[in-house]
Chain A
Amino acid sequence: MSFSDKLSRWDLKVSPYLYISPFFILFVIVGLFPIAYTAVISFQEWDLVRNTGEFVGFQQYIWILGQEQFWVALRNTFSIFILSSVPQIILALFIAAMLDRNIRAKTFWRMSVLLPFVMAPVAVALIFSNLFGDNHGLVNTVLTNWGLPAIPWHKNPFWSHIAIATMVNFRWTGYNALILLAAMQAVPREYYEAATVDGAGPFRQFWSITLPSLRPTLIFVIITSTIGGLQIFDEPRMYDQEGNGGADQQWLTITLYLYRIGWGEFNFGRAAALAWILFLIIMVIGLINLAITRRLVRDEGGRGVVRTSRRKKGAVQ
């Protein structure tokens, strides 16, 4: 075998791997390595400045799980996540459905929907802090002017979660709406025409055509907002000056707690253990999501539009 033959065979075998390697090399360096290194630190009593540690086994994990604050943080994280994700996706669907119609200045409306997403979360948090101030906040000023009682934004856990969820929703609703809009536009227009001929109203069309077609996209949106929701940090951090999640941990989230242990107390062993616990929580939720997703997709039973469209494509081929 000549050298060039050898080279071309090598080329055939190795090149594809070489082409896709940059991502994986990058992933190993900036993704996998930090995760593994965090695991190493989580078993140690770590000194950040001198980069040295002392092995203590599972002690850091046990400490975290024994903290009442951890469980409060877990509760807050899920509460804020549900208060933000559910209304957000419903609102995003509604906005997307509106934008999907034949309206004037389409691009203008679509761009404006995305505008809040471009704003830095810290800027959003600063603006909303002014709205949700206990004494001089805009919302409470309006309420008390109407003779209504002021809302305890920074005292009651529920109201603080509402305030933080509002900031999250402000930022992310438009982003999700655009993703859903893209999926809606992929739905063949003939379906709607046929439905109109059959006498179905806009609501019935949305329910029976749009929603079933959106299922895979909806699942994507739900999973990404789950991961984002469980890692929520900026908004609760900026909700007050100290960034400790409130005197009674009213709005302490897992990542905020992690930051407090890591950068407040400089206890990186514990912070790393908490990071790993969060990682595992997200994994578990992700698996549950996946299980539900699979069931939903299988459960179509031929009634949904997605299935029909696939069959059609097959027929064309």
Chain B
Amino acid sequence: MNSRAFRRSAVAVAAFSATAIVLAGCAGGSGNSPSADPDEPITLTLATFNDFGYDDELLQEYMDENPNIKIVHNKAAVSQDARTNFFAKLGKEGLADIEAVEVDWFTEAMQYSDLLAEVPDSAKGRWLDWKEAAATDEDGRLVGFGTDIGPQAICYRADLFEAAGLPTDPEEVAALFDGDWDNYFDVADQYKEATGKPMIDSAHSVFQGMINQIEFPYDEPDGTVVATTSQETEDAYNAVVERAIPNSAYGPQWSDDWNASMANGEFASMLCPAWMLGIIEGNAPEVTGWSVANAFPNGGGNWGGSYLTVPANGKNVEAALALADWLTSAGTQEKTFVNAGQYPSVIEAQSSPAIVDSTNAYFNDAPTGTIFGERSEAVTVNTYKSVDFFKYNQALQDAITRVFDGLEDQQTAWDTYVAQVEAF
């Protein structure tokens, strides 16, 4: 290409992109401009992970209501994959029109809240206060549509409890577990004495439950790091090591062995956030003994939950906002609860009969809607999860695993963790 031809095409490209920017600006500025034709066919991409309960039937419903819109749903296997993808492409190209973000890395995303589109005013106020507050940046822009929350209850195997001489009825079990963590571990000791087996699935899940009851486990909003000095965090670590590890079948969760263990009765109870029900059922479809008790040590705890975000530089921001709005509306959240056990973060949905009256056949017809509603009300602490939360949490979980595996003793593992935190 000679230089003149090059120059000419460069001018053309520049002119074209300038026009495109101006047009895009118009489209964003006013809904009435001719380029924002409401009947224009649009393809919207939706990126989620694990199971949000957005099945084909649900999405088809929206497409039937809006014939010009086609939804393409991409599902990542785990939230870590989605996280990598999200930050690699944010502010550039290639993100879906709607991207799901998990609570554990939502603070990281909030650092770039200016690159995310704002939730329309009409949708504001529909979520739980703390859910909405966490998605509002310093400038007061709300940039995340809350999907689910993860109030925790206790799942248990009634058949194994019976064999161990413990009560089996959900209400009696709830009364048994009602109390603090020490009480929970006492029951575990009792179970072990009777059967010789651990009662708890994994030391990590207990640790997660405890950390989610601490307001500032690792650092504070002003940047003060308390990961190694917080008494609450150290107490949680010590309690897990001293009392949970001897009663746990596994150290970490999510391994192949751990997945398989839900079906073969290696343990009898598990702390379960609402979304865990689907995972238990998926891993142990043949087992009939699983039940849910309406209790949680030390009151309530919230583990997990997600948001939907709309990258501001997407092609169809307006349409994407409308879809995200619909996906997190009370009506849709009722359906995703039925589909995947996603307990809603929308206040109206929480009290709707569809959820309050719902039962789960797999968990011996447990009234899961009511149980998780009450567990949600019991949540008093909203754990501060900073940008570095993931890093600190991983390091402390590793320390627990080292003790569990017999590689280091309680104090050595803690010292290694302290050294790691100091190196960050």
Residues of A whose CB lies within 8 Å of any CB of B are: 48-51, 66-68, 129-130, 133-137, 152, 154-155, 240-242, 244, 247-248, 263-266
Given A49-B90, A247-B251, A155 and B406 touching (CB < 8 A)? Answer: yes
CB-CB under 8 A from A51, the residues of chain B are 91
Contact with A along B394-405 (1 / 0, CB 8 A): 100111111001
CB-CB under 8 A from A136, the residues of chain B are 256-257, 260
| Interface class of chain B by DSSP | helix
Q: Is the CB of B88 within 8 A of A48?
A: yes
A45 to chain B, nearest CB (A): 14
In the complex the two chains form, what is the Cα distance from A51 to B112 in whole Å?
A: 12
Q: Is the CB of B256 within 8 A of A247?
A: no
Is B252 in contact with chain A by the CB < 8 A criterion?
yes
Q: Is the CB of B257 within 8 A of A48?
A: no
CB contact between A49 and one of B91, B391, B398 (< 8 Å): that residue: B91
Q: Is the CB of A241 within 8 A of B254?
A: yes
CB contact between A248 and one of B252, B261, B407, B419 (< 8 Å): that residue: B407
Is B115 in contact with chain A by the CB < 8 A criterion?
yes
Q: B83's closest neighbor in chain A, by CB? A: A263
Is B87 in contact with chain A by the CB < 8 A criterion?
yes
Q: Is the CB of A265 within 8 A of B115?
A: no
Interface hits, B191-248 → A, CB 8 Å: none
Given A67-B423, A133-B256, A266 and B87 touching (CB < 8 A)? Answer: yes
CB-CB under 8 A from A244, the residues of chain B are 394, 398
In the complex the two chains form, what is the Cα distance from A134 to B407 in whole Å?
A: 15
Q: A130's closest neighbor in chain B, by CB? A: B256
Interface hits, B371-424 → A, CB 8 Å: 390-391, 394, 397-402, 405-408, 419, 423
Q: Is the CB of A49 within 8 A of B87?
A: yes
A149 to chain B, nearest CB (A): 14
A135 to chain B, nearest CB (A): 4
Given A48-B87, A242-B252, A266-B108, A135 and B257 touching (CB < 8 A)? Answer: yes
Q: B108's closest neighbor in chain A, by CB? A: A266
Residue of B90, B108, B257 most packed against chain A (CB within 10 A): B257
CB contact between A240 and one of B88, B255, B260 (< 8 Å): that residue: B255
Other A-B contacts than A241-B255, A247-B398, 12 sampled, CB-CB below 8 A, are A68-B419, A129-B256, A133-B257, A134-B257, A136-B260, A155-B405, A240-B252, A240-B255, A247-B251, A247-B397, A266-B87, A266-B108
CB-CB under 8 A from B423, the residues of chain A are 66-67
Q: Is the CB of B90 within 8 A of A247?
A: no
A68 to chain B, nearest CB (A): 8
Contact with A along B83-123 (1 / 0, CB 8 A): 01001101100000000000000001001100100000000
Residue of A129, A134, A136, A247 most packed against chain B (CB within 10 A): A247
Given A136-B260, A247-B401, A263 and B84 touching (CB < 8 A)? Answer: yes
In the complex the two chains form, what is the Cα distance from A248 to B412 in whole Å?
A: 12
Q: Is the CB of B407 within 8 A of A155?
A: yes
A157 to chain B, nearest CB (A): 10
Of the A-B pairs whose beta carbons lie under 8 Å apart in the complex, a sample of 9, sorted by A's number, is A50-B91, A67-B423, A133-B256, A135-B261, A242-B254, A244-B398, A247-B405, A263-B84, A266-B108
CB-CB under 8 A from A265, the residues of chain B are 391
In the complex the two chains form, what is the Cα distance from A131 to B84 in whole Å?
A: 29
CB-CB under 8 A from A241, the residues of chain B are 252, 254-255
CB contact between B112 and one of A49, A152, A242, A248 (< 8 Å): that residue: A49
CB-CB under 8 A from A266, the residues of chain B are 87, 108
In the complex the two chains form, what is the Cα distance from A251 to B112 in whole Å?
A: 34
Q: B109's closest neighbor in chain A, by CB? A: A49
In the complex the two chains form, what is the Cα distance from A137 to B108 in whole Å?
A: 37
Q: Is the CB of B398 within 8 A of A248?
A: yes
CB-CB under 8 A from B391, the residues of chain A are 264-265
A73 to chain B, nearest CB (A): 14
Closest 9 CB pairs of A and B: A247-B401, A247-B398, A241-B254, A155-B405, A135-B257, A263-B84, A49-B90, A247-B402, A49-B91
In the complex the two chains form, what is the Cα distance from A129 to B254 in whole Å?
A: 13
Residue of B111, B255, B402 most packed against chain A (CB within 10 A): B255
Residue of A49, A50, A129 most packed against chain B (CB within 10 A): A49
In the complex the two chains form, what is the Cα distance from A212 to B363 in whole Å?
A: 69
A20 to chain B, nearest CB (A): 21
In the complex the two chains form, what is the Cα distance from A154 to B87 in whole Å?
A: 31
Q: B85's closest neighbor in chain A, by CB? A: A263
In the complex the two chains form, what is the Cα distance from A49 to B252 in whole Å?
A: 31
CB-CB under 8 A from B260, the residues of chain A are 136
CB-CB under 8 A from B84, the residues of chain A are 263
A7 to chain B, nearest CB (A): 17
In the complex the two chains form, what is the Cα distance from A48 to B86 in whole Å?
A: 11
In the complex the two chains form, what is the Cα distance from A68 to B397 in whole Å?
A: 18
CB-CB under 8 A from B400, the residues of chain A are 247
CB-CB under 8 A from B87, the residues of chain A are 48-49, 266
Q: A126's closest neighbor in chain B, by CB? A: B256
Q: B424's closest neighbor in chain A, by CB? A: A265
CB-CB under 8 A from A152, the residues of chain B are 405
In the complex the two chains form, what is the Cα distance from A50 to B391 in whole Å?
A: 22
In the complex the two chains form, what is the Cα distance from A248 to B395 in whole Å?
A: 10
B412 to chain A, nearest CB (A): 11
A13 to chain B, nearest CB (A): 21
Q: B388's closest neighbor in chain A, by CB? A: A265
B265 to chain A, nearest CB (A): 13
CB-CB under 8 A from B398, the residues of chain A are 244, 247-248
In the complex the two chains form, what is the Cα distance from A263 to B89 in whole Å?
A: 12
CB-CB under 8 A from A130, the residues of chain B are 256
In the complex the two chains form, what is the Cα distance from A133 to B258 in whole Å?
A: 10
CB-CB under 8 A from A137, the residues of chain B are 257
B213 to chain A, nearest CB (A): 23
Contact with A along B335-364 (1 / 0, CB 8 A): 000000000000000000000000000000
Q: B401's closest neighbor in chain A, by CB? A: A247
B246 to chain A, nearest CB (A): 17
B264 to chain A, nearest CB (A): 8
In the complex the two chains form, what is the Cα distance from A63 to B284 in whole Å?
A: 46
In the complex the two chains form, what is the Cα distance from A130 to B259 in whole Å?
A: 12
In the complex the two chains form, what is the Cα distance from A135 to B251 in whole Å?
A: 12
B116 to chain A, nearest CB (A): 11
In the complex the two chains form, what is the Cα distance from A14 to B414 in whole Å?
A: 67
CB-CB under 8 A from A263, the residues of chain B are 84
B25 to chain A, nearest CB (A): 22
In the complex the two chains form, what is the Cα distance from A148 to B115 in whole Å?
A: 58
In the complex the two chains form, what is the Cα distance from A67 to B420 in whole Å?
A: 9
Q: B420's closest neighbor in chain A, by CB? A: A69
A288 to chain B, nearest CB (A): 31
In the complex the two chains form, what is the Cα distance from A31 to B209 in whole Å?
A: 47
CB contact between B115 and one of A49, A133, A135 (< 8 Å): that residue: A49
